[in-house]
Structure 1
């Protein structure tokens, strides 16, 4: 651990307000094992933040609520990440993987100097940056920026609580995490139609990308069997160990666990080119007649009408394209039919793009100025996800 960043002792401090926690670095992470369900070996640990023991800020709900009320949530989130990595680095035996949670409300801030120092100093494990599904629609551009940074530094991504909100399934191919965590509610109700639908999408995504599926909340042997039946290969829960100091699980580490995950993909989340250029790499370019564009946008509208969990990501049409009969009106109708719309308010010069993405499917329409207009329509999910990433990277920029 860096000598200049040693934390204060976790004994009851004179003050227990959030300012004291931040100033004296009074966050003490606990670690819960994540295991291979077939061998019970520990493949990694998830860091769980705790405040000063014996105080009213010991547990994370009150700790983060206090930081939010004080307007210092971002600082606390960074401190929790710093302390998780510091403790894992200082462990007698390095874990193969360390899962660190990212607070959605803090995604739009730069990393702290201490966190950058730790990561660039060379971690003796692979860090897995864990997003909850709440982060996906909240700040998608910032999420992709941080995801790209993690990949650039050789780390990986996990999507947590999958199954709570159907929207998380729509964003799975956009984020394309190396780890997908099934929410414990699915383990508790494996026969439900919702569980079967979620797990079918997750299984298909894992087969396509090589992502590892983790079952959460495994408390009994019956839960373990259920998790495996739902497609999980790894799991976590009280059956394997409650949160504790990292030394409590080090004797069971699987040293080659990190090799089970896909390798990092620097640049994947940023992509390159405009939405139309990316779309043209995934589908044929055709003449964008008024009739062809209208038909393509109608297909997007029909996809949205059939699925209330779909997400629309679109750019405002370039003025030259907006003059084409029906484009602006069709976009407004499309946006009015779904719960979640992410709209780039600044037109991309010479282009218009709209993508509909839902659980296990996607479709997109991209138009480029010309005489006549050029049109690409996409129905291949990876290609649609690539266009969506390009749009989201421009969102808020």
Structure 2
């Protein structure tokens, strides 16, 4: 292969598979698909392959190629239909159509395979609306979603509820530092999520019996690593598989935060001046030095996103995985590190003032609807509700993610 274009044009990607094993019985539940470029080429490793494709603007096409090759190999192996196939995906690929030559195998996979699509927390913060669209597509096909590398970044824990994964994959470094306070925080947050949702906890990087013992103490019921098998072609035959259970999908978030919460909580009427202390209190939860939390806020108009507010949000963004400000006249990045969205004149969010905070162990939302008063700004009246119900707060937060465009990335020069 002469260059990355030739690799992509020829679909020159191969797939290896690593088994996923039920820890208690040792039986195989499924396999993770691991893509490789042409052997012996500069693009053999997946990191080099994707970096090269990204540089020439063909990363989403490569993502489709890798998934299609994985599905093709799984279909050809004709193994137990109860096996679950773990396949990585970049949510940005959901914004681009499947290449025509790959569409037939993708369609067959939808009909015949049981797939869990793996995503990372980086994808959530970078493209929230793309993540929701990709997750919805997976679940429409009857497939599941996994959140990968949980614990590698402390901020991933706050983003876990937005993915609502069927499987939480603990980063392999968790097994190698079981006594680290960070590991304890990750394990506690994952355990809380798994208990409330029914999700499966999977430990990656199990290479020794000691790692396996640690994985058990962390609540993992599924393991992956060299102790069970290295990446390799699929076997010609396999013992009957255990079937990985899928949990119920998250409640579909439709409407606006105020509409969602007001439909299930009583409303109170107050002035803007009376609501300001509550709004500031919720904001302060993000910057209190505790757990990293997501902060989403609707300001109606840019003039309400004051210089003082901008300074606070910029500070919050240094320790939060996602801080967003939505309002008429706001740019895609109103201050460094803060995601923005400009609301149109007829946008339903123009009438709402919302402050939503979601962390690994806490959740809170203030949702308010402007009654349209004309007088002094502090005396404007709102109908509002405050809730700490985690499921309700997350549903309200998810409804806002669709307004956020993908994060801007530096322009790359094609080679």
Q: Is the pair's TM-score, using the shorter chain for normalization, greater than 0.5?
A: yes
Output the CA distance in 1 between the equivalents of 2:325 and 2:396: 14
Asked whether the 8 Å contact 1:16–1:56 carries over to 2, the reply is: no
What pairs with 1:74-153 in structure 2 (closer than 5 Å)?
74-94=60-80, 96-103=83-90, 106=93, 108-113=95-100, 117-121=104-108, 122-153=110-141
Length, aligned pairs only: 372
> Shift of the alpha carbon at 1:24?
1.4
Please say if 1:377 is aligned against 2:399.
Answer: no
Output the CA distance in 1 between the equivalents of 2:265 and 2:154: 28
What pairs with 1:9-48 in structure 2 (closer than 5 Å)?
15-48=1-34
Output the CA distance in 1 between the equivalents of 2:169 and 2:306: 39
The runs of 5 or more residues in structure 1 that have no matched partner are 1-14
The runs of 5 or more residues in structure 2 that have no matched partner are 327-340, 344-348, 374-380, 407-415
Output the CA distance in 2 between the equivalents of 1:65 and 1:43: 31
> Shift of the alpha carbon at 1:333?
5.4
> Shift of the alpha carbon at 1:351?
1.2
- Corresponding residue for 2:258? 276
> Shift of the alpha carbon at 1:302?
2.4
RMSD: 2.3
- Corresponding residue for 1:366? 367
TM-score by length of 1: 0.87
Asked whether the 8 Å contact 2:283–2:355 carries over to 1, the reply is: no
What pairs with 1:312-391 in structure 2 (closer than 5 Å)?
312-318=295-301, 331-332=309-310, 334-339=312-317, 340-344=322-326, 345-347=341-343, 348-370=349-371, 372-391=381-400
Provide Cα deviations, 1:336-376, integer angstroms capped at 9, x if missing partner. 33123123323413112221122221111111122641112
Please say if 1:301 is aligned against 2:283.
Answer: yes
Please say if 1:287 is aligned against 2:272.
Answer: no
Output the CA distance in 2 between the equivalents of 1:276 and 1:36: 43
My pick for the range that moved more, 97-106 or 23-32, is 97-106
- Relative to structure 1, the CA distance from residue 392 to residue 116 in structure 2 (aligned partners, 3 Å threshold; closer, same or farther) is farther
- Relative to structure 1, the CA distance from residue 343 to residue 114 in structure 2 (aligned partners, 3 Å threshold; closer, same or farther) is farther
> Shift of the alpha carbon at 1:71?
1.8
SS at match of 2:364: strand
Asked whether the 8 Å contact 1:310–1:358 carries over to 2, the reply is: yes
Please say if 1:262 is aligned against 2:247.
Answer: yes
Asked whether the 8 Å contact 2:147–2:169 carries over to 1, the reply is: yes
SS at match of 1:31: strand
